[in-house]
C-alpha cells in the first residue's frame, strides 16, 4: 500500500533526457552561431595578411551575411511552427471536407451536419451564450472593482485575492465550484454552499448541474470567477495610467464621481477595455476544461471545444471533429479583425 519511489525513476530519466536535449540543441545552436563567424573572421584575416605580404590589392570587404544569421536564429521556431501548427491547420481544413476515416471527399456534408443536427445546434447556442456573457460580465466586474479598489486601502491584497483564481487550473476551479454546487437529498444536511444558502432562505435544495439551461449559467460563473481578475488587473493599470493632471483638473471643476467615470475614466481606458473584451472572447470560445470536468458535456451543457474533442478523439469522427475545429477558427476571425481595426484607428487618431 505504499508509494514506491523507485517506480517513478524512468520518468526522471526521461526528464533528464529532455533537459540534455535542451542543452544540446540550444547550446549547439549558440556555439555554431559563435564558431561560424569566428571562422570567417580568421579566414579574412589570413587573406589580408597574405595579400599584404604578396603586395596584391586587398580583397574587398564582402557584404555581411545578415540573412544567414537570421536563418539560424529563426530555424527552430520556423521548423516547429511549420510542423506543429501551419501544416496541421491546413490538414485539418482539408479533413473537414472528408469522411470520418479521412478516405473520401464528402464536400460540405460535415458542415451541413453541424447546422442540422439538433444536439450540435444546442452546442452552438451554448457557445454563443458563453461568448456573450463571459466577456461582458467579467469585464464589467473587473472594471467596477478596478475603479473601486483605486480609492481603497489594502489595494494590493484585495487585488491579489481577486486575481488568485488565475493561477488555479480550470480543472481545479471546476472542482472548487462543483463543491459549492454539491447536492444532498432533501432532509439531509447540505454540504454545498449554494444549497445551504437556498435552504437557509427556506428554499428546496437542487441538483444544480443537472438542470438545463441553468447549469450552463452556473458553469459560466466559474469562467467569470477565473477571468474577472485578468480584466481587473489590466483595467486597473489603465486607470492608473490616466494622467494625474486630467483627473485633478476635472476634480477642480467639481465633477461628480459619476461624471468622472463616464467622461474621464471610460474614454481614457477604452483601448484597454477593448483588449480585455477581445482576449476574453477568444478564451471563452475555446473553453473546454470547465465543461468537460463539470458535466462532460452532458445535460445540454456542451460547447464547441468539448464536442470537437468528443467527435475527433472519442467517436473517431475525424471529419466532423475537424469541421467543428474549423468553425471555431472562423468564429475567432471577426473578433481579431475588429481588434486590428481598432488598433489601427488608435495609431492614426
Interface map 205-244 toward other proteins (x if CB under 8 A): --------------------x----x--xx--xx------
Cell readout for 214 is 441553468
Binders of other proteins among residues 113 to 172 (CB under 8 A) are 145, 148-155, 157-172
Q: Is 271 in the site for other proteins (CB under 8 A)?
A: yes
Q: Please identify which residue in the block is written with the cell numbers 545552436.
A: 29
262 binds other proteins (CB under 8 A): no
SS3 2: coil
Residue pair 236/149 in contact (Cβ under 8 Å)? The answer is yes
Q: What x-and-dash track marks residues 281-320 binding other proteins by CB under 8 A?
A: -x--xx-xx--xxx-x--------x--xx--xx----x--
Q: Are 159 and 149 in contact (CB under 8 A)?
A: yes
Distance (Å, whole) CA 177 – CA 231: 21
Q: Which of 86, 108, 214, 266 binds other proteins (CB under 8 A)?
A: 86
State the residue for C-alpha cell 597574405: 50
Q: Return all residues near 266 (Cβ < 8 A) that are at least 6 apart.
A: 273
Among candidate residues 308, 334, 285, the one with its CA nearest the CA of residue 131: 285
- Hey, is 295 helix, strand or coil? coil
How many residues interact with other proteins (rule CB under 8 A)?
A: 131
What are the beta bridge partners of residue 105?
98
Closer to other proteins by Cβ: residue 54 or 66: 66
Q: Taking CB under 8 A as the criterion, which residues in 5-64 touch other proteins?
A: 7-8, 10-15, 18-19, 21-22, 25-26, 29-30, 33-34, 37-38
Residue 125 C-beta: closest distance to other proteins, Å: 19
Asked if 100 interacts with other proteins (CB under 8 A), we say: no
Nearer residue to other proteins within complex by CB, 55 or 164 = 164
Amino acid at each position: 500500500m505504499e508509494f514506491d519511489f523507485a517506480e517513478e525513476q524512468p520518468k526522471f530519466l526521461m526528464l533528464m533526457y529532455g533537459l540534455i536535449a535542451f542543452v544540446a540543441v540550444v547550446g549547439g545552436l549558440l556555439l555554431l552561431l559563435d564558431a561560424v563567424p569566428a571562422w570567417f573572421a580568421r579566414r579574412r584575416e589570413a587573406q589580408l595578411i597574405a595579400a599584404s605580404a604578396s603586395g596584391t590589392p586587398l580583397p574587398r570587404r564582402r557584404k555581411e551575411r545578415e540573412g544567414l544569421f537570421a536563418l539560424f536564429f529563426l530555424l527552430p521556431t520556423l521548423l516547429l511552427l511549420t510542423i506543429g501548427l501551419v501544416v496541421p491547420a491546413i490538414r485539418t481544413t482539408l479533413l473537414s471536407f472528408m469522411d470520418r476515416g479521412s478516405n473520401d471527399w464528402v464536400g460540405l456534408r460535415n458542415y451541413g451536419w453541424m447546422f442540422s443536427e439538433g444536439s450540435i445546434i444546442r452546442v452552438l447556442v451554448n457557445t454563443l451564450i458563453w461568448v456573450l456573457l463571459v466577456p461582458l460580465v467579467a469585464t464589467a466586474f473587473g472594471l467596477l472593482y478596478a475603479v473601486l479598489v483605486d480609492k481603497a486601502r489594502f489595494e494590493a491584497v484585495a487585488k491579489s485575492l481577486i486575481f488568485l483564481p488565475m493561477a488555479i487550473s480550470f480543472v481545479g476551479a471546476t472542482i472548487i465550484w462543483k463543491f459549492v454546487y454539491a447536492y444532498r437529498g432533501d432532509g439531509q444536511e447540505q454540504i454545498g454552499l449554494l444549497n445551504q444558502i437556498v435552504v437557509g432562505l427556506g428554499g428546496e435544495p437542487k441538483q444544480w448541474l443537472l438542470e438545463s439551461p441553468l447549469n450552463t449559467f452556473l458553469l459560466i460563473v466559474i469562467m467569470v470567477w477565473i477571468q474577472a481578475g485578468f480584466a481587473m488587473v489590466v483595467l486597473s493599470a489603465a486607470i492608473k495610467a490616466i494622467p494625474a493632471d486630467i483627473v485633478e483638473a476635472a476634480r477642480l471643476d467639481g465633477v461628480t464621481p459619476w461624471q468622472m467615470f463616464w467622461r474621464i475614466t471610460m474614454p481614457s481606458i477604452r483601448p484597454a477595455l477593448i483588449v480585455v473584451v477581445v482576449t476574453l472572447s477568444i478564451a471563452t470560445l475555446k473553453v473546454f476544461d470547465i465543461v468537460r470536468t463539470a458535466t462532460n458535456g452532458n445535460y445540454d451543457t456542451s460547447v464547441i471545444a468539448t464536442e470537437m474533442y468528443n467527435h475527433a478523439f472519442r467517436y473517431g469522427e475525424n471529419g466532423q471533429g475537424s469541421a467543428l475545429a474549423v468553425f471555431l477558427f472562423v468564429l475567432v476571425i471577426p473578433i481579431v479583425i475588429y481588434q486590428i481595426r481598432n488598433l489601427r484607428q488608435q495609431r492614426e487618431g
